[in-house]
A and B are shown apart, each in its own frame.
Chain A
Amino acid sequence: MTRILLHDRLDDCLAAWRSSGFRVLAPTRRDDLTRFDEVQGAAEMALDIIMPERTIKDHFFLQTEPMIRYRIKKQEIDTEEMLPPEQKRLFFGVRPCDASGLAIDDQLFGWDYKDAYWFQRRENSVIVTIACTKADDFCMCTSVQLSPDSTKGSDVMLHPLKDGRGWQVVTLTDRGKGLVDGIASILQEDAAEAAPTASVPVKFDVDKVASWLADPASFESHLWKEVSQRCIGCGSCTFLCPTCHCFDIQDEGDTYSGIRRKNWDSCSFAMFTMHTSGHNPRNTQSTRWRQRIMHKFNYYRGKFDVNSCSGCGRCTRQCPVDMGITETLQVISNLPR
């Protein structure tokens, strides 16, 4: 017997959560795009899709985030920190891959300096994931040591029922318990079985990839040029990735006042490593592609013991020229020993 939530009681849950101060965000389709946005009712949610086109990273690491407001007076500069508002948020219907992206990035944002913007949002948010019962050709969570029902980064996990009436509710963290306790009267005990999770074939051997990458000789391999010929150097893959986290600091304003902002940046961009001297150590697309793969599966692994990849497959799904990391990793994985 487990606790289940029926589909037609979801609106009651939203009402209960909202009355306890949460803003509820769920995958929803607006203006020709599916992404996490605030919803008022279950009818607005797009839960049947493989995954929303944009990730929940967008709500923790904003694409453009004001940090400091400055005002310049004769001899002084006034600054005012612009931290995120203290607002409780509930993310409903998150895919396990997206949730794991948050946990993976927690390590980076808390590493040598605790990023207040990230953690304030993290601490005020509850993640309710729904295990995947279907996948498409681009999904590859199982190849990066995750799975369609991975609990990484999740506070509560819902398992769709085989009979389609709702979900089994599994509480994973204290934060999740607090949330579920609040809707205890809406849940019911039931013996209904969970539907089987999606079958996601393993596409490459990530440990083999990591050890090839860690070999110094691989850095100069001709493989990098070969696999990246068609890459056009846009930021789509990096910006849609649940784990990518590079940013640029920009001041916007004039001589009197302005705002310092943290904006998304991409290692795919030609100017990413442009020095003020004019020298650019990564001045070809192949060196930039190499950096992307090395960072995700070598450097990040070395530092934090985890791949900087959640296996969502958006990089390939959305790439204008059908790149994405899966194929490169397959090529490396298939190299003769």
Chain B
Amino acid sequence: MSEPFEPKIVAFVCTYCTYAGADLAGTSRIKYAPNVRIVRLPCTGRISPMFILKALQKGADGVLVSGCHPGDCHFAQGNYHARRRWTVFRSLLSFTGIPEERIKFSWVSAAEGAKFAELINDVTEQIRDLGPFEQYQELQKVIETQSSY
């Protein structure tokens, strides 16, 4: 008797756009999947690849990173720097075999409450279809168990 797989998704979002958009989804009473754990940063420019690695290390099946549209960053340039970082990091993860489909990036503005809800629902379903991130979690289990010799 096994429960259906509920993906664990961590979303790193910026305060002034995506988080505000999420708030708007809430106040507008738009339902979205409960699988996402939101971590609020001041700006996507603050998001280090370390955060994404840490989320995977702690058992996330998928990671979403979202911020202001280019040109609309509250801090003027943060999301431009973030975009470059993500381009590089994404190709690195892909090269080492960590599926690109599990790490997602988006621009969601403060006015886009409905878009945020739709985004979360879509991402959740896509990660649900991919299943638990077993490969990475296997590496975890190697830590947990005693050494084999």
Residues of A within 8 A of B (CB): 23, 25, 59, 62, 65-66, 82-85, 87, 89, 121, 252, 254, 259
Contacts and interface: CB of A to CB of B under 8 A. Distances in A.
A25 B146 CA distance: 18
> Looking at chain A's contact residues, is the secondary structure mostly helix, strand, loop, or mixed?
mixed
Given A254-B58, A259-B143, 13 more contacts: A25-B149, A62-B149, A65-B147, A66-B143, A66-B147, A82-B146, A84-B147, A84-B149, A85-B146, A85-B148, A85-B149, A121-B149, A259-B144
Categorize the interface residue count of chain B. Answer: under 10
B71 to A, nearest CB: 39
A259 to B, nearest CB: 7
Residue among B144, B146, B147, B148 with max Cβ neighbours from chain A (10 Å):
B147
B147 A62 contact: yes
12 contacts: A23-B149, A25-B149, A62-B147, A62-B149, A66-B143, A82-B146, A84-B146, A84-B147, A84-B149, A89-B149, A121-B149, A252-B143
A89 B148 CA distance: 11
Contacts of B146: 66, 82-85
Contacts of A83: 146
Nearest to A83: B146
A87 B149 contact: yes
Interface string B137-149: 0000001101111
Nearest to A37: B149
A28 B144 CA distance: 27
B144 A59 contact: no
For the complex of A and B, the 7 pairs showing the least CB-CB separation, nearest first, are: A82-B146, A59-B149, A62-B147, A66-B146, A85-B146, A65-B147, A84-B147
Nearest to A58: B149
A194 B146 CA distance: 42
Nearest to B146: A82
A8 to B, nearest CB: 28
A16 to B, nearest CB: 21
Nearest to B145: A66
A62 B146 CA distance: 11
Contacts of B148: 85
Nearest to A23: B149
Nearest to A257: B144
A66 B143 CA distance: 8
Contacts of B143: 66, 252, 259
Contacts of A121: 149
Contacts of A254: 58
Residue in A23, A85, A87 whose Cβ sees the most chain B Cβ within 10 Å: A85
A254 B54 CA distance: 12
Nearest to A66: B146
